[in-house]
Structure 1
């Protein structure tokens, strides 16, 4: 099986190359890429069967590559320096999802799994994945005491914990109180572009306008709301936001 390594850090590509070569698997490294543009060109030219794909690249992300490439008959092992960026979607669709720094034994197991599976066609698989990750205007239902609210997901600013209840704050100023914990909401919203940044808050990433270096950090949303970032979540948030800096 031909393997294409895609990572914007030279040191990471070198480490992956050595790990693949020493894995003992029947794999051939056919090329390496450090950007969305380069990776797309190499996929169509080399037609690899497996991508070792960094999620966040300097000129985009791994899903841009999958969408733009004409050749899609490949499996993917996603690589990431942080664990909570659309993790639910990755785990549903990916062959595997490995955190950096990459553990060589975990990578060897993932490579072995790729060789064992090798499905005939991946086209429907990737169409399903891309569809699940694209921003949409789909309605999200919330059951409240007065009835069921159907809300456009783009209209949600953030969710705030209130003991065993949660408060949904909308862009128009409306608030919805529901009998769900924030943990339950995290499961419901985690694959839709929402991020748990604090024990008391989940934010809609579409509305994040600014990060401020106050205490462990503060996110400023499109309506001017200031949402604190917990110390435990600070590294993950900074890693995610750094992907937008050119």
Structure 2
């Protein structure tokens, strides 16, 4: 069985390859990717039988990849960190998944399950999982110091990162500080209409009032966000494209 690993964290990919080499199951890893775009290219060229597919990738989600795949002729095992909504979606769709860090016994069980699952039946499972995932995709659970906070991404203005911490600013005036980097949330937010105009910020496109060509974003709340010179062209292209729709 030829397998492709699509996962945005190198150490997870490396660990999964090591586990696959140590079990009594004929799996040949033919490629590794960290983004939707790379996965599409490698899938077309290598034609894998099985894809280990992370939910959140560097430029989108697993479901973005599946939507753009021309021929869904491979099996899928989702990989996810423990997030309530992601697990709910995958269980709803009866699609198989592995929790990070990947456990060897769970890996064996998942391989045995997908090996016997007809591709046609899997397509139905994935469609159900996608619908369930999208129904809760607007909710993000933040692990705070003393609680878990549910944030509606429709009401999230922007995020600001500083020295390994990220602050989430909401339309109700509340803010939430988490001890994670902005990078860890980037793929999820990009998939929900956010953009990263600066290394320290991610902004909800729907709350942008205007952009000064000097390199400053003005939000509808009056907050200003800088745009770095390195990210300026990408931001302008995305901003203009969004507002021409």
TM-score of the two chains, using structure 1 as the length reference: 0.61
Take 1:35 and 1:72, find their aligned partners in 2: how far apart are those partners?
A: 18
Q: Are the counterparts in 2 of residues 195 and 203 from structure 1 also a CA contact under 8 Å?
A: yes
Take 1:126 and 1:30, find their aligned partners in 2: how far apart are those partners?
A: 23
Take 1:236 and 1:84, find their aligned partners in 2: how far apart are those partners?
A: 18
Take 2:167 and 2:33, find their aligned partners in 1: how far apart are those partners?
A: 35
Q: Are the counterparts in 2 of residues 82 and 236 from structure 1 also a CA contact under 8 Å?
A: no
DSSP-derived class of the 2:109 partner: helix
Take 1:125 and 1:200, find their aligned partners in 2: how far apart are those partners?
A: 30
Greater displacement, 77-86 / 118-127: 118-127
Q: 1:240 to 1:225 in 2, by over 3 A?
A: farther
DSSP-derived class of the 2:169 partner: strand
Take 1:72 and 1:194, find their aligned partners in 2: how far apart are those partners?
A: 28
1:225, CA displacement in angstroms?
2.9
Q: Are the counterparts in 2 of residues 86 and 193 from structure 1 also a CA contact under 8 Å?
A: no
Counterparts of residues 92-107 of structure 1 (less than 5 Å): 92-93=92-93, 95-107=95-107
Unmatched runs of 5 consecutive residues or more in structure 2: 190-195, 200-245
DSSP-derived class of the 2:29 partner: strand
TM-score of the two chains, using structure 2 as the length reference: 0.61
DSSP-derived class of the 1:30 partner: strand
Aligned match for 1:220, one of 158, 165, 169 = 169
CA offsets 1:216-239 (integer angstroms, 9 cap, x no match): 976322x3431556xxxx468967
CA offsets 1:83-131 (integer angstroms, 9 cap, x no match): 2343211222253232222222221221122213244454444344444
The two structures, once aligned, show a CA RMSD in angstroms of 3.2
Would you say how many aligned residue pairs link Structure 1 and Structure 2?
185
